[in-house]
Amino acid sequence: MRLDRLLGITLELMAKQRVTAAELAAKFEVSVRTVYRDVELINQAGIPVASFTGADGGFELMNGFFLTRQHFSVDDLSVIYTLLKAMQGAMGGAVAPAMRKLASLHPALAANEESGKAVILNMSTQEHDRDIVHRLFQAIRQSRVVELAYTGTSASGIRSERSVEPLNLLWEKGVWYLEAYCRLRQARRYFRVSRIARLDVTETTFAPRRISDEPAQETEQGIQAHLRFDLSVCTRVLEQFPGECTYQGDRINVHKTFYTKEYALSVIASYGTKVDIVSPDELRDDVIAHIEAIRHHYRKNKEEI
């Protein structure tokens, strides 16, 4: 993830007097060209990185720049600290020194480590989603009840009104989700931020409650599809379904959950004859009907023209 890499490069620059693009490329397993792009983004974020050419060239933070609580608020530092803590499981003790450095800048970071407060990452996302995420972040921090209009996953796109107690913001595969206690369902629920049509943060506050870890999906569980792709499209398949692919001879098997039929049809149809639907049979029938509808549409247009 680019955010992890940008943070890592920044910490590397803080720890060393000067570091070369080749060293950073080797450390983060990217190309030198990518390192130059990342350093430019770091500069744009307000952290001044000087570039030096020649045999002893490289990157270093400009003289006089250092990380203090005046540059970052405790909330800013909390985001970085919590991100590092989340990475600890995958990277072991590698992130511990960086966490200690951040904690030394503001002791409240370590003190609030187990507070369970939400973390907001300024990821690339649409303006509508970004606005909702920021408002939800504040609602979570202030323990305020949120009223929202939510479009479900059914094909009919029915919109429901919900009153929820926001608990956390989650980021998964490029999508923001709100984890909340739904007062209508009286259970924990996950709401995709992009499907929130209207959001009102009320003045009503709520106290933390014990919530059972029952399955927290909405009433629809999605379409469990088994797809089999031709190797000629393997690059695209591996990019579109990361972690969901297995090889079987000259084919690639993918087990995927589609939460809307429309999305399933659009993805499968885009592969043409390079994909077979192993299951379910109903999805295969839906794809046939979808293709026939397209065929009828263009035949009708041709006759009218």
Please tell me whether residues 62 and 81 are part of one structural domain.
Answer: no
State whether 109 and 135 are in the same domain. no
Q: Which of 151, 178, 205 is the last residue of a domain?
A: 205
* Residue 89 and residue 158 share a domain: no
Residue 61 and residue 76 in one domain:
no
* Token pair of 33 as six digits: 């060209």
Q: Is residue 288 part of a domain?
A: yes
Identify whether 35 is part of a domain: yes
d(CA 258, CA 46): 41
| 151 assigned to some structural domain | yes
Look-up: residue for tokens 């247009």? 301
- State pTM to two decimals: 0.41
Q: 200 and 131, same structural domain? A: yes
User: What pLDDT is attached to residue 188?
Assistant: 86
Does the residue 95 lie in any domain? yes
CATH number of the domain to which 135 belongs: 2.30.30
* Contact present, 160 and 218 (Cβ < 8 Å): no
| 237 in the same domain as 287 | yes
Q: Which amino acid is at 101?
A: K
Query: Which range marks the domain in which residue 183 is found?
Result: 127-205
pLDDT of residue 88: 63
Domain at 39, CATH number = 1.10.10.10
Identify the domain boundary among 177, 205, 233. 205
Q: Are 187 and 139 in a shared domain?
A: yes
Are residues 81 and 49 part of one domain?
no
199 and 134 in a single domain? The answer is yes
154: phi > 0 → left, psi -120 to 50 → alpha, else beta; which?
beta
Cα–Cα distances in angstroms (integers) from residue 30 to residues 98, 221, 242, 249, 251, in the given order? 21, 38, 19, 31, 30
217 belongs to a structural domain: no
Question: What pLDDT was estimated at residue 288?
Answer: 92
Can you tell me the distance from the alpha carbon of 299 to that of 279, in angstroms, rounded to the nearest whole number? 30
Give the pLDDT of the chain (305 residues) as one tens digit per residue.
466 788 778 878 776 678 888 888 888 888 888 888 888 888 776 677 777 777 777 888 765 555 443 445 555 666 676 666 666 655 566 667 777 766 665 555 555 554 444 444 444 456 677 788 888 888 988 999 999 998 865 544 567 899 999 988 776 656 778 889 999 888 888 888 888 989 999 999 999 888 765 544 444 457 889 999 999 998 888 878 877 889 888 899 999 888 778 888 988 999 999 999 999 999 999 999 989 988 888 887 776 66
Model pLDDT, residue 63: 56
Is residue 190 included in any domain, yes or no? yes
- pLDDT at 121 (0 to 100): 45
pLDDT value at residue 76: 60
Single residue among 49, 66, 83 that ends a domain in this structure: 66
Whether 245 and 264 share a structural domain: yes
Query: Domains in the chain: how many in total?
Result: 4
H or E element, residue 262: helix 261-270
pLDDT of residue 254: 93
Determine, yes or no, domain membership for 212: no
